[in-house]
Each structure stands twice: as structure tokens, then as C-alpha cells.
């Protein structure tokens, strides 16, 4: 049902766009003032035909595929690294807070610190290469997943901990068999959010430090020309990749939470 709804929504959006593009063809201005000069032959709303031409060029020249591979690799590395660090830290702080009933003002501090502001700092610290980009994603991801894990542990209902204690369970067993399964949905939700955020981060990071090949570079290049069909294809590609990541995550989630009562 949800897949069908999503397909219908996407299709109707595509149809509306197609109609708008056909209406706009020949009617929209084909040159725009760029602040210092005119750009000729601009397609403000490229038709499907010109999108298809541009798309097949980007695919045949391997530009798109290479860009996806490079950017996805960065996102994946950053996501795994950041999730591991964030979840482990969040579990630890959540558990400590549970035991000691600490207030958590530092959580607020991190939550609202935009990790993209770290980019210049990371470039200075880690150089222009892969490291700074992957670490930037990892930092972003870590903050979000840390909060998810922290809140997940904090939210474990008292009754389960008491029942476990009454059955003689302590320490590691309680953590592994009671706390982790209960914190999982929160952790998972945070990883999903973090995956989306990772894509935002990488595209922006690659826009600033634009190198070939990458999706951010593709967009930066398209902006320099400017070439609207390339931009639209780049944006749609990032959107599709976020969707694919999310779908994979949902499949994993469904498997890991078979025990839950299904909402009617």
C-alpha cells in the first residue's frame, strides 16, 4: 500500500512537471542575467526529452555512475563510523544517566550545533582529502545517533528492569537482553534520520570542496555553467539514493522488531 501510494505520488508529480515544462517550452525566457553577463540557451524548465538526453549523456560518459559510487562510499563510511561511535557513546551516557539521574544540558548543546560549521575546521585539521569529508559525515551522524541511543536507554520502562532484577539478572545481561532491545527502535529511528542527514552533509561538503567525480561536484559544475537539466538530474539522484538507503533501513527494522504489536 505504502509503495503504491509513493509511486502514485511520484508519478503525479512527474506528470505535472511534464505538463508545466511543455507549456513553458518557447514561452519561458531562454536567457537570464547572471549579475555580470547574460547566459544564453538556458532551459528554466527542461522538458523530459532534454532531461533524457542529458541523463543518457551523464550515464554513457560514466560521470553519473562514478559520482554516485564516490559519494555513496563517503556516506556509507561516515554513516557506519558515526553510528558506531554515536550509538556506543549514547548507550553509555544513557545508562549512566539512568543510574545517576543526571540532567542532560550537554545534549541540548550538541543537538543545536550545526556540524556543517565544522567543515573549515576539519579541512584544516584533516586536509582536503577523503578523511575530512568522511569525518564530517561521521560527526553529524554521531550527534544524531548519540541522542537516539541516549534517549532510547533513558526511556526503558521501569517495570522491565525491575522484573529482570527480580529474576536475578544483573549488569551485562540486563543491558544486552533488556535495555538494547527496548532502545533499538529509538536508535534505529535516529540512524534513519542520520542517513538522510549524511547525504545532505556530503553534497554540501562536496559543493564547497568540489572535485571530480562526486555528486556535489556534479551539482557545483552544473551551477557554474549553469545547466538546469544536470542540476535536476543531480537532485533527483540524491533524492533517489536517500530513498534507497531509507528503504534498506526499513527492511532491517521490520526484521528486528517482529516482536512488536502491530498498530491497527
The answer to whether residue 163 forms part of the interface with another protein (CB under 8 A) is yes
Residue 172 in contact with another protein, rule: CB under 8 A: no
According to CB under 8 A, which one of 37, 99, 259, 263 is a site residue for another protein?
A: 259
Residue 169, interface with another protein (CB under 8 A)? yes
How many amino acids of this chain bind another protein (CB under 8 A)?
21
Q: Among residues 138, 142, 124, which one has the least CA distance to residue 201?
A: 138
Counting contacts by CB under 8 A, is residue 31 touching another protein? no
> Could you say whether residue 126 binds another protein (CB under 8 A)?
no
Grid coordinates in use for 125? 585539521
Residue 220 · residue 210 · CB < 8 Å = yes
Nearer to another protein, 254 or 260 (CB): 260
The binder of another protein chosen from 160, 200, 241, 253 (CB under 8 A): 160
CB of 259 to another protein, least distance (A): 4
User: Any contact of residue 243 with another protein (CB under 8 A)?
Assistant: no
Instruction: Round to whole Å and give the CA distance between 217 and 238.
Output: 12
Which positions touch another protein (CB under 8 A)? 159-160, 162-170, 173, 177-178, 181-182, 258-262
Amino acid at each position: 500500500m505504502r509503495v503504491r501510494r509513493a509511486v502514485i505520488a511520484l508519478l503525479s508529480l512527474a506528470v505535472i512537471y511534464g505538463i508545466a515544462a511543455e507549456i513553458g517550452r518557447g514561452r519561458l525566457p531562454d536567457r537570464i542575467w547572471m549579475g555580470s553577463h547574460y547566459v544564453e540557451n538556458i532551459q528554466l524548465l527542461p522538458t523530459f526529452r532534454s532531461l533524457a538526453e542529458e541523463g543518457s549523456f551523464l550515464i554513457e560518459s560514466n560521470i553519473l555512475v562514478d559520482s554516485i559510487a564516490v559519494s555513496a562510499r563517503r556516506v556509507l563510511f561516515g554513516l557506519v563510523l558515526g553510528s558506531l561511535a554515536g550509538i556506543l557513546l549514547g548507550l553509555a551516557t544513557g545508562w549512566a544517566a539512568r543510574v545517576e539521574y543526571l540532567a542532560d544540558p550537554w545534549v541540548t548543546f550538541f543537538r543545536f550545533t550545526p556540524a556543517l560549521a565544522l567543515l573549515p575546521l576539519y579541512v584544516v585539521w584533516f586536509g582536503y582529502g577523503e578523511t575530512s569529508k568522511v569525518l564530517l559525515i561521521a560527526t553529524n551522524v554521531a550527534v544524531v545517533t548519540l541522542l537516539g541511543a541516549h534517549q532510547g536507554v533513558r526511556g526503558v520502562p521501569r517495570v522491565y528492569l525491575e522484573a529482570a532484577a527480580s529474576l536475578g539478572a544483573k549488569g551485562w545481561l540486563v543491558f544486552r537482553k533488556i535495555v538494547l532491545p527496548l532502545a533499538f527502535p529509538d536508535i534505529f529511528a535516529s540512524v534513519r534520520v542520520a542517513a538522510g542527514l549524511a547525504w545532505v552533509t556530503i553534497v554540501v561538503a562536496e559543493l564547497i570542496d568540489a572535485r571530480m567525480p562526486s555528486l556535489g561536484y556534479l551539482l557545483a559544475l552544473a551551477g557554474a555553467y549553469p545547466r538546469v537539466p544536470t542540476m535536476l538530474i543531480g537532485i533527483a539522484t540524491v533524492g533517489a539514493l536517500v530513498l534507497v538507503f531509507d528503504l534498506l533501513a526499513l527492511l532491517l527494522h521490520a526484521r528486528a522488531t517482529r516482536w512488536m504489536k502491530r498498530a491497527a
